[in-house]
């Protein structure tokens, strides 16, 4: 009985020692969460937070601020733990509320709605003031998220209004002013590039627009070249000439398709020569029809020299829309001018070919040919 207090003492000592012998936490730079902070992993936001002793702030994992020394970093499982440090929330990543990315997306969405709802084009200063940001910051964020400047976006919306008005059957004059143009002169200066034809012809659905075309043969299969009065509007590749003509009819359902004469067949021969020997170049007027964003992408593609390739992400960076990789891929897929707008020169970031509207084997053959190596022999899937 006299030993009970002594035994109790040892029990207390055992509990105390056990408590102090618990494994020490991993050094921050050995913790798997640190790698996610280094990578600025957005998917980690909300899973944990971290604080930095030297700056006196706490952040979300995706914070864009300069990377801290891990010796000065403490990791927190909850936002409450991060706040308990007594540090202030980071102004760049706003760990207490929506991420900067989400806030910017909401800001741009609101600006787009303002542009679409306004009868007159809002100025950059007006849009930036409504967003509570400087004009320079607002302009950079808007372009990064949409791929267009606010001015280009407004122009694209006006063009869409004009097209919708003409398709609905209103007069050309009404469509022009309803779309927000202050004068018909300003509209007609841009109408051909905007509509691909005169407003009156567009209002008629492109009826009777003359499209000349001819079919030829290349080592990559059959090629169809078609032109409007403005320039070459389609270069289609395939195996079946009849299928290519049907494709052309689908692209210009109300146009009048006219088989090319000898002079036009000479133009087709130039396109065929370019396919076979890319070093020849292709200096022909083009009728490029697409949205403002698509046209920016296609111009960036035309700037890629033969023998070179770039990734979709790099094209997005070049046009000032680094987050628009999927939209870049969609613009490449919508390209109707094979080889003239060289979407075959765009590959995946890992070097894989990715898709190609005219077939992956044709893409490989074109790239091998342009690289100056032994040309890959094209094999039709029908062979």
Closest CA to 344 of 336, 334, 332, 328: 332
CA 319 to chain centre: 9
CB neighbours of 97 closer than 8 A, spacing ≥ 6?
none
Q: Per the structure block, which two tokens stand in for 184?
A: 């018909």
CB atoms within 10 A of CB 215: 20
Q: Per the structure block, which two tokens stand in for 5?
A: 């207090």
Q: How would you label 356-383 residue by residue, b for 16+ Cβ within 10 Å and e otherwise? A: bbbbebbbebbbebbeeeeebebeeeee
Provide the annotated active-site residues. 59, 343
**Contact call for residues 244 and 227 (beta carbons, < 8 A):** no
**Contact call for residues 255 and 209 (beta carbons, < 8 A):** yes
Categorise residue 150: left if φ over 0, alpha if ψ from -120 to 50, beta otherwise: alpha
Please list the alpha-helical segments (H only) found in 179-311: 184-195, 199-203, 241-251, 262-276, 292-302
Q: H-helix or E-strand containing 58? A: strand 57-59
Distance, CA of 246 to CA of 112 (rounded, Å): 38
Distance, CA of 28 to CA of 40 (rounded, Å): 15
Please list the alpha-helical segments (H only) found in 123-259: 124-131, 135-146, 150-167, 172-178, 184-195, 199-203, 241-251
């Amino acid at each position: 009985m006299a030993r009970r207090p002594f035994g109790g003492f040892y029990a207390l000592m055992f509990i105390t020692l056990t408590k102090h012998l618990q494994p020490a936490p991993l050094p921050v730079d050995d913790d798997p969460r640190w790698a996610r902070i280094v990578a600025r992993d957005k998917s980690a936001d909300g899973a944990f937070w971290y604080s930095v002793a030297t700056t006196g702030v706490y952040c979300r994992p995706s914070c864009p601020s300069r990377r801290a020394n891990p010796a000065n970093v403490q990791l927190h499982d909850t936002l409450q733990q991060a706040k308990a440090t007594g540090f202030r929330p980071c102004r760049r990543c706003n760990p207490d509320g929506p991420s900067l990315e989400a806030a910017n997306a909401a800001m741009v969405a609101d600006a787009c709605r303002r542009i679409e709802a306004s009868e007159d084009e809002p100025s950059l200063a007006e849009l930036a003031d409504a967003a509570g940001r400087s004009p320079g910051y607002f302009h950079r964020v808007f372009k990064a998220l949409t791929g267009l400047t606010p001015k280009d976006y407004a122009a694209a919306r006006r063009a869409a209004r004009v097209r919708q008005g003409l398709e609905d059957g209103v007069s050309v004059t009404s469509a022009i002013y309803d779309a927000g143009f202050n004068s018909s002169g300003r509209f007609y200066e841009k109408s051909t590039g905007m509509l691909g034809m005169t407003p009156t012809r567009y209002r008629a659905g492109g009826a009777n627009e003359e499209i000349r075309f001819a079919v030829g043969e290349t080592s990559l299969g059959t090629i169809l070249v078609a032109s409007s009065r403005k320039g070459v509007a389609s270069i289609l590749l395939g195996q079946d000439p009849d299928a290519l003509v049907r494709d052309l009819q689908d692209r210009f359902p109300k146009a009048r398709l006219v088989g090319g004469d000898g002079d036009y067949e000479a133009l087709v021969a130039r396109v065929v020569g370019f396919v076979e020997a890319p070093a020849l170049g292709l200096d022909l007027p083009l009728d490029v029809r697409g949205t403002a964003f698509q046209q920016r992408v296609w111009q960036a593609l035309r700037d890629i020299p033969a023998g070179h390739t770039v990734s979709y992400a790099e094209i997005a960076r070049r046009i000032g829309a680094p987050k628009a990789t999927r939209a870049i891929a969609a613009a490449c897929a919508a390209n109707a001018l094979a080889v003239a707008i060289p979407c075959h020169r765009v590959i995946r970031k890992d070097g894989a070919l990715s898709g190609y509207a005219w077939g992956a084997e044709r893409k490989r053959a074109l790239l091998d040919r342009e690289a100056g190596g032994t040309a890959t022999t094209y094999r039709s899937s029908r062979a």
